[in-house]
Amino acid sequence: MSKFAIIGSGPMGLMAGLELIKQGHQVDIYERDDRIGGMSADFDFDGLRIERYYHFICKTDYQLFKLLEELEMSDRLHWTDTKMGYYYQGKLYKWGTPFALLGFPHLSLVDKVRYALHVMCTKGIKDWTALDKENARDWITRWIGPKAYTVMWEKAFALKFFEYQNSLSASWIGTRIKRVALSRRNLFNESMGYLEGGSSALLNEMARRVQAAGGRILLGRGIDEVVSSEGKVTGVRTGGDVEAYDKVISTAPIQYVPRLVPGLPATFSDAISRIENIPVACVILKLKHAISENFWMNISDDNIEIPGVIEYSNLNPGNDPGQKILYAPFYMPKTHPKWTSPNEALIEETIGYLPRLNPDFQRNWVLDAHCHRYEYAQTICPPGFQNMLPPMETPLAGFFMADTAYYYPEDRSINESIAVGAKIAALAAGH
């Protein structure tokens, strides 16, 4: 039996903790914030507990389903036939069905066929190795042509990835297309899932089980240093206190690792530092009425600087029909002027867009508003990212690390957090 410290109580840290406890190890989970959950945490939105960032579940989130079953929570998982919209240059179109594609006036019939073929073929890809080294823009353009790339993808890439928009791995974008494309009941119905009680219902149960089995979750206890001696981990330091551990697993964003772990070789820390990230500021509004019937509305409009809005109540209707939840994500590098603008400015900008998306919108529909920020929200995965990722088992004996970058080629999701959490626990326990 070993004594483990886990850094971070997001879904990955909690999963790693659960797995290690099952194997009889001693586990302490250290969390810098005063709450568990990381990016998946909820907050009190004037009486409504809801995630700071939108979360949906897809039909292929098998690791999540397995965990829900193990925790006897499968009955909390609900599915909704969701709708998608595409707001293109001043007009909202239906999206996500063959009829919607056929009726969209900004692509030729040939482009539409190519677009549909691209999605259908991407859905069938099982081995992403070949696409790891491909550039996403070139790959998509080859399939659907330059005109359709401009209409369908260019703005989304620009507003999510900014200076990185033209150097993204095709496999990383491909897995996103596949995940959403496979989350359907049939050709005409997209089907997305949510957890009753939100992601917190799952996270709280994971935390309860960790604690019931003797593990500790130490909130407001950020790790300041992973202490080591002669190439081996000896413990962790929080403030002035050092506690001894056999092994440490970090699930914090890996950009923190070089500073946290001075015992790592410089070449390893340099490899970590080459991995880039984009923050998010995400506005959440509570509205009297829905803006549209869509769960997801992608936006490509010269006058709107967000890639879309997510009307969460069209997925999870909640208990109060008079409260509709809408999220608007502003992804941006920290160098972007908007990153330093106050939350109120981003909230006002979002509200300013709503009359365009729905001409009936009135200011008094807004019941409440918030904006949350997460600095390391989105790893940037350029072509060849597979070989850029340093191994989870580091050269410092007893120190293991992973974060959302290790889902690659998959996109961020709680499903992947759980999968990687289980994987890193097995790796660390085996050494």
Member of 11, 96, 263, 409 binding ligand FAD (CB under 6 A): 11
C-beta of 149: minimal distance to ligand FAD in Å?
A: 24
Nearer to ligand FAD, 107 or 310 (CB): 310
The CA angle 86-329-6, to the nearest 5 degrees, is 130
30 binds ligand FAD (CB under 6 A): yes
277 binds ligand FAD (CB under 6 A): no
Q: Which residues contact 362 (CB under 8 A, 6 or more apart)?
A: none
Member of 5, 8, 168, 424 binding ligand FAD (CB under 6 A): 8
Site residues for ligand FAD, window 191-220 (CB under 6 A)? none
C-beta of 364: minimal distance to ligand FAD in Å?
A: 28
Nearer to ligand FAD, 141 or 204 (CB): 204
60 binds ligand FAD (CB under 6 A): no
85 binds ligand FAD (CB under 6 A): no
Both ends of the chain: CA-CA distance in Å? 11
Site residues for ligand FAD, window 322-341 (CB under 6 A)? 329
* Complete DSSP assignment for 84-147: EEEEETTEEEEESSHHHHHH-TTS-HHHHHHHHHHHHHHHT----HHHHTSBHHHHHHHHH-HH
Collapsing DSSP to helix, strand or coil, 162 comes out as helix
Member of 169, 417, 423, 424 binding ligand FAD (CB under 6 A): 417
Member of 2, 26, 33, 367 binding ligand FAD (CB under 6 A): 33
Nearer to ligand FAD, 39 or 131 (CB): 39
Residue in 388, 392, 412, 415 with CA at minimum distance from that of residue 402 = 392
Alpha-carbon distance 344 to 293, whole Å?
A: 27
Member of 144, 207, 249, 252 binding ligand FAD (CB under 6 A): 252
54 binds ligand FAD (CB under 6 A): yes
C-beta of 87: minimal distance to ligand FAD in Å?
A: 19
308 binds ligand FAD (CB under 6 A): no
Determine the residue type at 31: E
Structure tokens at 224: 């300041």
Binding residues for ligand FAD, how many (CB under 6 A)? 36
Whether the bond into 262 is cis, omega within 30 of 0: no
215 within 8 A of 52, measured Cβ to Cβ: no
Residue 103: C-alpha distances to residues 95, 97, 112, 144, 301 (Å) = 9, 10, 10, 17, 19
Strand partners, 310: 296, 327
C-beta of 15: minimal distance to ligand FAD in Å?
A: 8
9 binds ligand FAD (CB under 6 A): yes
Nearer to ligand FAD, 40 or 294 (CB): 40
66 binds ligand FAD (CB under 6 A): no
413 binds ligand FAD (CB under 6 A): yes
C-beta of 327: minimal distance to ligand FAD in Å?
A: 8
222 within 8 A of 30, measured Cβ to Cβ: yes
Q: What region does 214 belong to: left with phi over 0, alpha with psi -120 to 50, or beta?
A: left
14 within 8 A of 29, measured Cβ to Cβ: yes
Member of 374, 375, 386, 388 binding ligand FAD (CB under 6 A): 374
C-beta of 318: minimal distance to ligand FAD in Å?
A: 17
Alpha-carbon distance 328 to 308, whole Å?
A: 7
Binding mask 378-407 for ligand FAD (x = CB under 6 A): -------------------------xx---
Alpha-carbon distance 312 to 294, whole Å?
A: 9
Nearer to ligand FAD, 13 or 383 (CB): 13
For the chain, what is the total number of helices (H) and then of strands (E)?
15, 20
19 binds ligand FAD (CB under 6 A): no
291 binds ligand FAD (CB under 6 A): no
Give contact residues for ligand FAD (rule: CB under 6 A): 7-13, 30-33, 38-40, 53-56, 222-223, 251-252, 256, 260, 280, 282, 329, 374, 377, 403-404, 412-415, 417
